[in-house]
Amino acid sequence: QVQLVESGGGLVQAGGSLRLSCAASGGTFDGYRMGWFRQAPGKERDFVASITRSGANTYYADSVKGRFSISRDNSQNTVFLQMTSLKPDDTAVYYCAATTRIMSALIKAQADYWGQGTQVTVSS
């Protein structure tokens, strides 16, 4: 059983930056593909970014390309989401996810484990 704990959310002005972290425990971290998703009030949970087990390849939603960057530190069992040039539309609860499934499944939110989420609020 893998536990995922997100941190780093908060309130930021438009144009600002935040760095989210997701710490994993209870499993072999480098055996999991990792992803970030977000859910705004009244909306579905959407894919944001994902990263392969080694960290060599990353994938992004069009809405965040060029502004967000996903990375991982397998020695620290942690995945990060660096968010820059934040917009009010980025306001949501951000979730970390882990899976042993193929990457296309993860991008469709078919994950084995989910974190509890961290709130990101971007004010205009």
Tens digit of each residue's pLDDT (9 = 90 or more) over 47-76: 999 999 999 999 999 999 999 999 999 999
CB 6 within 8 A of CB 25: no
Q: Band of the pLDDT at 27, cuts 50, 70, 90?
A: confident
Angle CA 106–60–80, to nearest 5: 80
DSSP-based three-state secondary structure for 29: helix
pLDDT tens, position by position, 66-121: 999 999 999 999 999 999 999 999 999 999 999 999 999 898 899 999 999 999 99
**Which pLDDT band, with edges at 50, 70 and 90, does 1 fall under?**
confident
